[in-house]
A and B are shown apart, each in its own frame.
Chain A
Amino acid sequence: DTAVSQTPKYLVTQMGNDKSIKCEQNLGHDTMYWYKQDSKKFLKIMFSYNNKELIINETVPNRFSPKSPDKAHLNLHINSLELGDSAVYFCASSPIGGGDEQYFGPGTRLTVT
């Protein structure tokens, strides 16, 4: 009965590798987000999709590519991983956008060595 789920929970990989993080929500929400939270805890929005359409694309290296196969899923693929990509990545969803509660997934802790 998990509302927003992410896999994997932990991801340890070497520099230069390519990895993906998956997110699914069963709340029937139209909008989904990816956030990056670094060691200083700041929540940085990366991308937002509304009904499978990209609506927010912040200044993020193009090594990061989101993909939304349907409105319940938003995946994040990262190419050529760098040390600075180490962070916790949170997926979130909301009913109609930023004016309502955002429900966060449990996070994926990515460590690049």
Chain B
Amino acid sequence: GENVEQHPSTLSVQEGDSAVIKCTYSDSASNYFPWYKQELGKRPQLIIDIRSNVGEKKDQRIAVTLNKTAKHFSLHITETQPEDSAVYFCACKPTGSNYQLIWGAGTKLIIKP
């Protein structure tokens, strides 16, 4: 079945610097790749997603890139701010599933002042 690996598990960056989190997946036919942000004590919330017919998507300071050949996708956060501190989860939708997302293990992002 589909498997998603997420790296790094913890990422510490200086405020104002960029952060990059990467996920690799195994099913080349996966076609939907969301990123969720979970602040401490809160629920996961979708921040950006990308479908397999697109290579990059941006929304202000965040962007997601997809490399279908290499089967990986990445979350990029520029000009990081204290409120970016959270756990970030990647996920993908495997072939043949209309209902299930396969989740990465999460990355704890720490923004140092």
Contact = CB atoms under 8 A, between A and B. Distances in A.
A68 to B, nearest CB: 14
B44 A104 contact: yes
Tell me what chain A mostly uses at the interface: helix, strand, loop, or mixed. Answer: loop
Interface string A55-76: 1100000000000000000000
A104 B87 contact: no
B98 A107 contact: no
Interface in B61-93: 87, 89, 93
Contact of A43 (B44, B49, B100, B108): B44
Interface string B20-60: 00000000000110100010001111100100000000000
A101 B49 contact: yes
Given A43-B44, A99-B93, A48 B100 contact: yes
Interface size class of B (residues with CB under 8 A): 20 to 34
Interface residues of A, number: 21
Given A42-B105, A99-B32, A101-B34, A56 B99 contact: yes
Given A56-B100, A99-B98, 18 more contacts: A40-B105, A42-B103, A42-B106, A43-B89, A48-B100, A55-B99, A97-B97, A97-B98, A97-B100, A98-B97, A98-B98, A98-B99, A98-B100, A101-B46, A101-B49, A102-B46, A102-B101, A105-B43
21 contacts: A31-B99, A40-B105, A41-B38, A41-B87, A45-B101, A45-B103, A55-B99, A56-B99, A90-B44, A96-B98, A97-B100, A98-B32, A98-B93, A98-B98, A98-B99, A102-B46, A104-B43, A104-B44, A104-B45, A105-B43, A106-B43
Sorted from nearest, which 6 A-B pairs have the closest CB atoms?
A: A97-B99, A104-B43, A97-B98, A98-B101, A98-B93, A101-B46
